[in-house]
Structure 1
């Protein structure tokens, strides 16, 4: 969907790195300006208390007409400022309320891999995903593959990007893991071992809880948490990212993204706190797992993980809400050249990137 250049690395040929969300592309960084219409009060309102100013002006040797104009201008400016401030508050309230009611869904997560065929084999044979579609763009020197547990119009999926000639990426310390719900963690781990996969945490209860989990790594080193659950419509259920200020992030995702705080859990013994954010219950929807490690405010993002895409009914209002909440717009809302799919892109307070895609345009792309 969007062409993304990774973070610079001395070991990579940046000219060859052209990951994409789908056919969409965007270019230069820009900020969206929010315009508020100022209200101009009537002259009668501005002059309602000028009577007491004239005698005082004369006592100081200032001519009445001059003082009258100064007082009037001062009152008009103050009144306009007050009304404009009220207008801003109304605008923020309307936009943020709209964000909560917007029809949003996490569409896909984008990241870069060094061997596309090897990764596809691991995801299909070990994790049970299906290859939904694959697209090669030789003129841009990259290939995309979309994999998941159901159609893209109703499921959260992964979008893998392979850049010609680049076989390794830096995942960094900020990205955590993807979550996959399975009915039998131990059985899945045995299968992964039989296929030569890497298991980094054997099956067992999560620390401080009872849910059975395990951790495995794909061929590029991306971690997957296997969570033991009953049947679910959304097996690809989590994306975990680390943040430097959890309360700040929760506030941003609630207001700017219209997400709901599903649950929050503090683990003082292990010095971390997590918050699950999403658009519906964890057992039925993909969610964003934000993790705060005590005392850590910044992380290295590397150049492997790229972004999440979220559907919206209006990219213009979405961009406005994001800016009102302190987010940074990196791609102004509007249609992309050539295909007319409307998108906007932004960064959260920690610099994690998200692309919002018009819901109707996204479905048209899949036809």
Structure 2
């Protein structure tokens, strides 16, 4: 595809469906016991469900911060797939025994692409002090570097977790502690015009905020579905941060690592809605072979899901609400 105009067809289902949700972010982990314990004990996440796939020798673990209200699936369980802010950890069986295996965290050359996930707090200084007391490894403390209002910590596989604050002077809400939030997932993109057109027109996301950094020659765009009453873009869960380093779009040989080619690490983000089949059908009807699927809806080994590729080759899972874990 040669230009942003290829993504100008608007998908009606994406623009007129209030059930659309940025549901989860997935990356691979080496030892699930270490990873699940890390996110539960240090951040207060809860394991919502686990799904084993013996024939393909992998397991999925779904974690979330506490939510005030959950929708229910057909079995009366909390519906993981209709919520925002879910972290999916993929464990390929046996990796915990491979001493030399290292997950690609997306931040080391020549395999940069995925950048980090981000948790937001009412008080970032207090959060960082508590994490330091628990022995969590910091990639960047608040006192390091130019940005003194954020920090980065590392999980057991070396994935970066940004720590930010959602109570801000320029924001009217929220003004009190509403709990820890899985705010955003960051990926680097080559051509920002293609990326914005894709996520807005094909998946119906909106630009929630934008941040230019001319000294370092990059721009951040925060995309997602509408901010609810009482939220701001930093307290909302289910936000996609896309980082554009200026000039990458002009280099025909430049590309980012999508996390799913070797060396693997990051897997995908997931968009869910009540009728995923209808959404996928409209996308396929209107775009034909201009977009890449792997697989199309209900055509892979795992039923009732699809995987769509964005302009940089990052995977986006599309699933219906109500799937059981």
What TM-score do the two structures reach when normalised by structure 1? 0.66
Moved more, 228-237 or 270-279: 228-237
**Secondary structure of 1:197's aligned partner:** coil
Runs of 4+ aligned residues of structure 1 deviating over 4 Å after TM superposition are 204-208
Larger C-alpha radius of gyration, 1 or 2?
Answer: 1
Q: Note the C-alpha offset of 1:140.
A: 3.4
- In the other structure, the counterpart of 1:303 is 264
CA displacement, residues 45-100 of structure 1 (integer Å, 9 cap, x when unaligned): xxxxxxxxxxxxxxxxxxxxxxxxxxxxxxxxxxxxxxxxxxxxxxx96x623321
1-side partners of 2:49 and 2:298: how far apart? 26
- In the other structure, the counterpart of 1:38 is none
Q: Note the C-alpha offset of 1:298.
A: 1.6
- In the other structure, the counterpart of 2:192 is 246
Q: Note the C-alpha offset of 1:194.
A: 2.7
2-side partners of 1:357 and 1:154: how far apart? 12
- In the other structure, the counterpart of 1:98 is 13
Q: Note the C-alpha offset of 1:165.
A: 2.0
Residues 21, 84 of structure 2: 8 Å contact kept = no
- In the other structure, the counterpart of 2:93 is 164
Map 1:26-37; keep pairs closer than 5 Å.
none
**Secondary structure of 2:244's aligned partner:** strand
1:327 to 291, 297, 306: 291
1:190 to 129, 149, 164: 129
State the structure with bigger RCO (CA 8 A, min sep 6), 1 or 2.
Answer: 2
> What are structure 1's unaligned runs of at least 5 residues?
1-91
- In the other structure, the counterpart of 2:158 is 221
Residues 140 and 331 of structure 1: is their aligned pair in 2 closer, same or farther, counting only changes over 3 Å?
A: closer
2-side partners of 1:158 and 1:104: how far apart? 17
1-side partners of 2:292 and 2:52: how far apart? 31
CA displacement, residues 147-167 of structure 1 (integer Å, 9 cap, x when unaligned): 111352433211111112224
Q: How many residues align?
A: 267
Map 1:1-367; keep pairs closer than 5 Å.
96-102=11-17, 103-150=19-66, 152=80, 153-167=82-96, 168-172=102-106, 173-203=112-142, 212-230=149-167, 231-232=177-178, 235-281=181-227, 282=233, 283-296=235-248, 297-301=254-258, 302-312=263-273, 313-321=275-283, 324=287, 326-334=290-298, 341-359=303-321, 363-365=322-324
- Let me know the Cα RMSD of the aligned residues: 2.7
- Larger fraction in helix: 1
Q: Note the C-alpha offset of 1:213.
A: 1.4
